[in-house]
């Protein structure tokens, strides 16, 4: 897919983004819109209630100023979706090298056989890149698939100087049990890496980190 200048787009629609945040009174909505590379569904100057991503999902401002994420939104014309990520196609360990924050979630499936792993990087360009790993397969997925609680946690901790374990027990992406998640600045501290190595050896393997 062809990359375009998403920064130029956001400069042009800055007021539209700020209007959405002001109307919903949802702190950090501007950050979430831009970090997820969302785009307005039309170019009018009124309040934009529908923002679409590059994976065919949408963030919608609905009644009572609530926000609803629709995955695989069938109302979106997928032929118009364009990749705007200049780092598209880089291996995950190289994405880590151009990132400043990492969100990590681990969990087990219901039979305790397979590990679920989600790694989300916030790049130095302030864009999110999210990976889902299960049964030996890694898929790059939409930041919206994390859900608003996780996105808000990332927004609130985007200037974190250490790491913290989150208390979000809601399911992220797919059902799993024994779910644990953290946010850390990146490159991460040795203390964080020691904590993660005990929980998930795969993390170090994917990112070429020596334990």
Distance CA 185, CA 154 (A): 11
Q: What is the pLDDT of residues 102-126, one digit of tens each?
A: 999 988 776 656 778 999 999 999 9
Q: ∠ CA(182), CA(145), CA(151), 5° rounding?
A: 50
Distance CA 131, CA 140 (A): 4
pLDDT of residue 179: 84
* In the chain, where the domains are located: 6-80, 92-206
pTM: 0.88
The segments of the chain whose pLDDT lies below 50 read 1-3, 211
């Amino acid at each position: 897919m062809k990359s375009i200048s998403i920064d130029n787009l956001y400069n042009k629609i800055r007021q539209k983004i700020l209007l959405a945040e002001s109307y919903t009174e949802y702190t950090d909505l501007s950050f979430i819109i831009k970090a997820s590379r969302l785009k307005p569904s039309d170019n009018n100057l009124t309040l934009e209630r529908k923002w679409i991503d590059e994976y065919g999902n949408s963030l919608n401002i609905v009644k009572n100023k609530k926000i609803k994420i629709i995955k695989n939104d069938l109302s979106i014309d997928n032929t118009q979706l364009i990749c705007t990520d200049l780092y598209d196609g880089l291996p995950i360990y190289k994405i880590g090298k151009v990132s400043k924050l990492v969100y990590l979630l681990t969990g087990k499936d219901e039979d305790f056989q397979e590990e679920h792993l989600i790694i989300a990087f916030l790049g130095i360009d302030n864009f999110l890149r999210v990976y889902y790993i299960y049964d030996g397969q890694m898929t790059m997925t939409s930041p919206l698939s994390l859900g608003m609680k996780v996105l808000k946690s990332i927004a609130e901790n985007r200037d974190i100087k250490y790491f913290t374990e989150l208390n979000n027990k809601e399911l992220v992406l797919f059902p799993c049990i024994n779910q644990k998640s953290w946010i850390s600045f990146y490159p991460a501290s040795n203390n964080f890496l020691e904590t993660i190595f005990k929980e998930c050896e795969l993390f170090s393997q994917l990112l070429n980190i020596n334990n």
